[in-house]
Copies of this chain bind each other. A is one copy, B any other.
Amino acid sequence: MHNQTLILIQCRDAVGLVAIISNVLAQHHLNIVAMREFVDEVDRKFFVRVVCSGTLHNKTKLQEDLSAQLPESTQLTINPDIQKKLVILVTKEHHCLADILVRYYFKTLQADVAAVIGNYDTLQHFTEKFDIPFHHISHEGKSKEEFEFELAEAIKPYQPDYIILAKFMRILSPTFVSQFKGKLVNIHHSFLPAFIGANPYQQAHDRGVKIIGATAHYVTDDLDEGPIIVQNTKSIDHSYDVQRMRTAGKEIEKAVLIRAIQLLTEDRVMLNGNRTIVFK
């Protein structure tokens, strides 16, 4: 039972889907207060996010009633956990982590930060100020397999909804990624797909760009190729050397990542192949 009921549906497109859904909701005495839908006309897919007021008395029955009338292999989510659980992975840079922790501390992040894990201990002291456990798992002197095994073992007990790579500077193997499918979110210090890979600010400077950007995206096997959630850019000029570009870039990275986290924790992001639907 909730004051508000949130329903996410993803299915093959068909005639009358909104009528079906709204009828079932009316039968359950739920009143639609906000509804956002999208039809992918190329791939014939239907996506909808519905917020209802009214008490949900029988979630199982609602699930059955909707499934009975919607197309086969519909993905249906009713009232996902409102308070998501996050694990944050970091290296040495603080800007994204600090923004997340301050919002968590002041209860303006609609999520719990369960733990922070760093391959360096640089951010341990800061993290612990906020009474959040910090695990230092160094990659040094270990094979990638060993390191990732330790990392995975540290993450699993927290059962996070999302693992946020908040400037985590190690490339993760497909094996690792496959264990946390759909849960890994990265901030890339570039306006993807420009300047993929290492040292994008040096690349950007050499190319003489007049705009820099950052990208928050799901992590998939292909480095820097996962579905994009949020991007933003900022104008620069010739007076920016690589260092100043990096400093300016951090502000964008921070803003883009926190926006992605907000959208994810409010269940506003749906996956559509290698693209995302974002119901703002």
Contact = CB atoms under 8 A, between A and B. Distances in A.
A35 B231 CA distance: 26
Contacts of A15: 26, 29, 31, 54
Contact of A233 (B22, B29, B106, B213): B213
A62 interface: no
Interface string A5-34: 000000000011111001101100101111
Contact of A208 (B94, B238, B275): B275
Interface string A74-116: 0000000000000000000011001100100110100000000
Contacts of A56: none
B230 A233 contact: no
B272 A238 contact: yes
Contacts of A210: 228-231, 278
Interface residues on A, range: 35 or more
A95 B102 CA distance: 9
A259 to B, nearest CB: 10
A98 B102 CA distance: 7
B194 A238 contact: no
A66 interface: no
B213 A193 contact: no
A216 B248 CA distance: 20
A142 interface: no
A195 B274 CA distance: 17
Copies in the complex: 4
A132 to B, nearest CB: 13
A36 to B, nearest CB: 8
Contacts of A272: 238
Nearest to A194: B194
A237 B210 CA distance: 19
A19 B25 CA distance: 8
Contacts of A138: none
A221 interface: no
Interface string A237-263: 111010000010000000000000000
Interface in A39-61: 39, 41-42, 54
B105 A126 contact: yes
Closest 6 CB pairs of A and B: A208-B275, A19-B22, A19-B26, A194-B194, A210-B231, A15-B31
24 contacts: A15-B54, A17-B32, A18-B32, A34-B37, A38-B238, A41-B241, A94-B102, A95-B106, A98-B106, A105-B126, A106-B126, A108-B247, A191-B191, A191-B194, A192-B209, A193-B209, A207-B228, A208-B227, A208-B228, A210-B231, A211-B213, A231-B235, A238-B275, A238-B277
